[in-house]
Amino acid sequence: MAVLEVADLQIWDSGTNQCLVAGSSFQVKAGSCLAIVGESGSGKSLTCKAIMRLNDSGLRQSGEIRFKGENLLALSEKEMRQKRGKQICLIVQNGMRAFDPSCVVGVHLLETIATHFDWGRDEITTRLTAAMESVMLRNPREIMNKYPHQLSGGMLQRIMIALALVLAPDLIIADEPTTALDAVSAFEVVEQLMALRQNTGCAMIFVSHDLGVVKKIADEVLVMKEGAVVESGAAHQIFSKARHEYTRYLVSNKLALSQRFSQVMGGVDVAEG
């Protein structure tokens, strides 16, 4: 059963009428991970934001985005806010942008959870503490009293994963969650995302330009180029029997570039060649 079905998604700039995503169609099955890959500017992040309805106001979109059978494009903004977080959770590539810099991260976490659950402050704090400890964050209460700039990128990503653990959404969209991290932190975040999926049974969209990570985490792969889907299929088919020339280029070049990360994912010391 598909948790998410996207049909003929088109995104264009209303000012210039430039087409940015042209007729994209795909689905995400319950409990599975779909990776969206492609070079910068291929439309990966625009597609993710379209699902969440978070693209800039100057962009327009058409088509159908059905989440558990319901067309998200037909919902009011108020109805969509109820979907975000609790049912569809977005983990962005730069953790610093996910939090209000003017307040400690605990305020953001508490307010987000209180929006979706009728829990008291003590229960929310208890659940958050347990979730943060499960993603290897030490001294959770101390962390919750820190401002975003006082925490590393890897810590902020793990905080977002901990929040997702508490919210237990049906679909998690991880938009290049390791891009701003060093190799060791990226490895830890990917491991936590895999554990999150295993523990909650959620479906996942994982956006990345790093095919070493994609090979590790994805069940299916969608390849985008210049706003269009050029190939899709099971991950093992994409990596071993790619049909499209662009996909073959990505696999041959990007896997070579991510070999170091793949070694880390396989347990090889990051200091090795």
Domains of the chain: 2-265 (3.40.50.300)
Confidence label for 273 from pLDDT (cuts 50, 70 and 90): very low
| Rounded mean pLDDT, 237-248 | 91
Residues 6+ apart with CB under 8 A from 6: 24, 25, 26, 27, 47, 51, 63, 64, 65, 66
Q: What tens digit of pLDDT does each residue of 131-171 get?
A: 999 888 899 999 999 999 999 988 998 899 899 989 989 99
The pLDDT of residue 257 is 53
For the chain, what percent of residues have pLDDT higher than 90? 61
pLDDT reading at 103 higher than 80:
yes
The structure tokens listed for 157 are: 């990503």
Judged by DSSP in three states, 227 sits in coil
Q: Strand pairing partners for 24?
A: 9
What is the rounded CA–CA span in Å between residue 69 and residue 66?
A: 5
| Rounded mean pLDDT, 229-242 | 93
Per-residue buried b or exposed e for 175-197, using 16+ beta carbons within 10 Å of the residue's own CB: bbbbebbeeebbbbbbebbeebb
Q: What tens digit of pLDDT does each residue of 34-54 get?
A: 999 998 889 999 999 999 999
The structure tokens listed for 9 are: 């998604």
Q: What is the DSSP letter of 84?
A: B
Q: Of all helices (H) and strands (E), which one includes residue 14?
A: none
Q: Kindly report which listed range (98-107, 224-233, 262-271) carries the lowest average pLDDT score.
A: 262-271
Confidence label for 262 from pLDDT (cuts 50, 70 and 90): low
Output the CA–CA distances (angstroms, integers) from residue 156 to 57, 72, 101, 224, in the order listed: 27, 28, 12, 28
What is the total residue count of the chain?
273
The structure tokens listed for 187 are: 């490895």
What is the rounded CA–CA span in Å between residue 112 and residue 163?
A: 9
| Rounded mean pLDDT, 98-119 | 92
pLDDT reading at 271 higher than 50:
no
Q: What is the mean pLDDT of the chain?
A: 88
